[in-house]
Structure formats: structure tokens, C-alpha cells
Amino acid sequence: MVILREFKKDSRLGITGLGAHMFTFSCFMVFLKLQVLSGIALLSFRAAKAPRDKEHPYGHGKFESLGALGISSMLLVTAGGIAWHAVDVLQGLIASTPDMINGTLQHGHHNNDHGGHHHGIDLEHPVLALSMTIAAISVKEGLYWITKSAGEREGSGLMKANAWHHRSDAVSSVVALIGVGGTILGVPYLDPLAGLVVSGMILKAGIETGYGSVLELVDAAVPPSVLEPIKQTIIQVEGVKGCHRLRGRKAGTSLYLDVHIEVDPFLSVSAAHDIGESVRRQIHKSHSQVTEVFIHIDPSYSECSANKLDLRKSMESEERENSKNISRQQDAEAIVSDILSSHFSGKMSLERTILHSLQGKVLLQVQVSMSPELLIQDAMDIAKEAEKAIIKANSSIHHVSIQLRLGPLISQL
């Protein structure tokens, strides 16, 4: 129904333009017909809002980008057609300028044989044309503000582009008004020149819309101005020591993020996971445009690195360095168990081994139980000997901390 009403309105304006025999209204009618694109924008927006499914696990946001790209293509084609016709008419006016001057002096009117373009103006039609143009300016400016508000509320680039399309309609109506006035005043050149201005405005809208759509379709990075507030939200979450590799991509109104957060390297897996979930909840709460966040948890090296350059280098080389060291928790447990059973049998029993890999170095926390009759000093001496033996057994082990278990182990839930 919306599209049908737009066509009816454009048809009335087209009849007015033909009655006035003015080029400006011919191109203005074509430009208003582009309101059909608003229907395309609406369909694309609704398709993009469809829930994710098996075939589209990341949602349908790209449909909005595709719709915007289609609109931009049609805008560019229309701009080219209007410009071509305007230049054609302008060339005809220039070629017939002497005849136009003579005709004006002798008969009070002029004829342009080029393309059958006629500039004789009846007193009734220009008044009607001016009235329709002023009404169009008011309507289009109102549509601009309504659509712009909706686009900002939804975070939709497509709706914002469509709002600018309404604004360009309003401005082009002003240009059409100038063309009509020029024709009434006997300055026919203003008519095709106004058409060129209109085509330029449509061209600008098409390029801007198309460029933004292509960036979204190729997963271009979102600007730093969008990511910086999100970064501030992340580092304010309790337990987060820092964050890096924050990046995002847009799909219509949806924003998808990837981020590495840094936490205390000696936290348990469950505690680090809870911090990650807190980050996720806070991002969704503070930034409604974010649809999904992929969080990678890294140990914080702030206390281990001398400066930021060392920190960056250590992060980049960590995976390579770790490949040379103990690769699995089971390997560490086997080494520790072998050392304690062969050299410290009867003095201590292995309860649990926890492996930490920091900056390519392996750190072990070993929980043991000892006889309650042992003096604390004797237990400490035995632990130091065991630590040295474990480090000597494997060169990749950088540090060992043997801890005496005084209570029962936490059972698995």
C-alpha cells in the first residue's frame, strides 16, 4: 500500500510537470519514483531482523547490507539517466540560443526543436507546479526526521541512508523550485542546470550508501570510535587486568565482537570463565548494538613484562615457545609422580599437580601430603629437595612450588 500511494503521488506530480512542459519536473518525478526504494529498504530491514537458524547461525544481518547495496545501485543508475538527459537538453538550448532570442523578441515565446523540449509556460500551470513543489519539500523534510530518528534508535545504517534519501528529495525540491522560477522569469537554462544538481545529489547518496554497504559485506573493521567505549566497559569489569585484540564487524544493525581479556594467571578455569561471562553481560547491558561477543581469556603478564613491547612480543611468541615445552597436564603429572615415588617415597605423597604456562615458561604447583609428625622445618627441607629434583628432570620446567595440603581435596561436583 505504501508503494502504491507513492506511485499515485508521483503520477500526479508527473502530470503537473508535463502540463508545465518543464524538464525539472520530469526528472523530479523520476526522483520521487525512487520512493519505491523505501519499500525495498523496509523488506531488507525485516529480513535482517529474522532470528538465526541452522542455515544462518550468525543471523540475517547481511540482508540489510545487500538491500542497501541494491538501493545504491538504483540510485546511481537514476542519477546517470537524469544527468544524461539534462546535458542533452542543455546542449539543445545552447545550440538554439539565437533562435530563442529572436523568437522572444518577435513572438514572446520560444521553441526548442531539440528532443521536442518546449518551454512555453501557461500562467496556470507554473502556479500549480510551485504549489506542488512547496508541498513536496514539507513532506520530504518531515519524512527525513522521522526516518532518521528510527535509524538512530535501531542503529540501522540502511534506515539512516534512506533518511538522507528523503532529505535529498527535499533539497532537490528546492532545486526544482529554482528551475520553475527560472522558467517563469524567462531563464530556461536554470531548468536543466537544476536537473544536473539533482542528479549530483542522487549520485552522492548512491555512492555513500553503496560504500558503506560494501564495507559491511566484506567484514571491514568498525571504526575505533565505536570500539573505544566498549573497551572502557571491558576493563572496568572486576577481575579484568586488561584487554587486547578487540575487533568488530557489522552485519546490518548487528555488531559482532572478538576480544582477548587478561586475568590473573593463577585463577582457576571456573573463576576465569566467570569473569568472561561478566564481561559479556556488561557489554550487552551497556551497548545494545552488540549482538554477540567472542571472548578469549589470556593470562595477564603485567607483572612479568618489563614494558609493553616485551608484553606484545611475549604474546606473539607464546604459542611457539609452548610447543617446545610440556604440552599436556598429563605429562607434568607423570614427571612429578615419577620423581616423588622414586626419590621421596615415604616422605610425601602426591595429591595434585597444576600446570601454568606463562610466556613460554612452565610453572608447576604441586600439592602433597606428609606425615603429621614431621616438623615444619623438616617438611620445608624435603619440599626444597623435591623442587630441585623436578626442575632438574625437565629443562622446560622453570619453577616448582610444593605446597602441603592440610585439608581434604575439593571433590568434583
Residue 50 has pLDDT above 60, yes or no: yes
pLDDT, tens digit, for every residue of 106-152? 444 444 444 444 433 343 566 676 777 777 778 877 877 887 787 77
pLDDT, tens digit, for every residue of 249-292? 988 878 999 999 999 988 888 999 999 999 999 999 999 889 99
The whole-number pLDDT of residue 325 equals: 52
Residue 316 has pLDDT above 70, yes or no: no
Task: Give residue 219's region: left, alpha or beta (phi > 0; psi -120 to 50).
Answer: left
Tell me the sheet residues that pair with 349.
369
**Do residues 112 and 118 touch, judged by C-beta distance below 8 A?**
yes
Q: In CATH, what is the architecture of 224-300?
A: 2-Layer Sandwich (3.30)
The whole-number pLDDT of residue 117 equals: 42
User: Which three cell numbers, joined as nine digits, stand for 120?
Assistant: 512555453
Residue 101 has pLDDT above 60, yes or no: no
The whole-number pLDDT of residue 400 equals: 93
The whole-number pLDDT of residue 228 equals: 95
Strand pairing class (254-263; 290-299): parallel
Strand, coil or helix: 363 = strand
Q: In CATH, what is the architecture of 2-217?
A: Up-down Bundle (1.20)
Name the band, by pLDDT with cuts 50, 70 and 90, for residue 295: very high
Cα–Cα distance between 156 and 44 in angstroms, integer? Answer: 11
User: Which three cell numbers, joined as nine digits, stand for 375?
Assistant: 616438623
- How many angstroms separate the Cα of 204 from the Cα of each of 97, 121, 288? 32, 32, 30
CATH topology of domain 329-404: Alpha-Beta Plaits (3.30.70)
pLDDT, tens digit, for every residue of 329-378? 788 889 999 999 999 988 999 999 988 888 778 889 999 999 888 899 99
Radius of gyration for the chain, computed over Cα atoms and rounded to the nearest angstrom: 37
Q: Please name the helix (run of DSSP H) or strand (run of DSSP E) that holds residue 263, with its range, or none.
A: strand 254-263
pLDDT, tens digit, for every residue of 71-91? 788 878 878 888 888 888 788
Q: Where in the chain is the domain with CATH 1.20.1510.10?
A: 2-217
Q: Where in the chain is the domain with CATH 3.30.70.1350?
A: 224-300, 329-404
Cα–Cα distance between 207 and 168 in angstroms, integer? Answer: 13
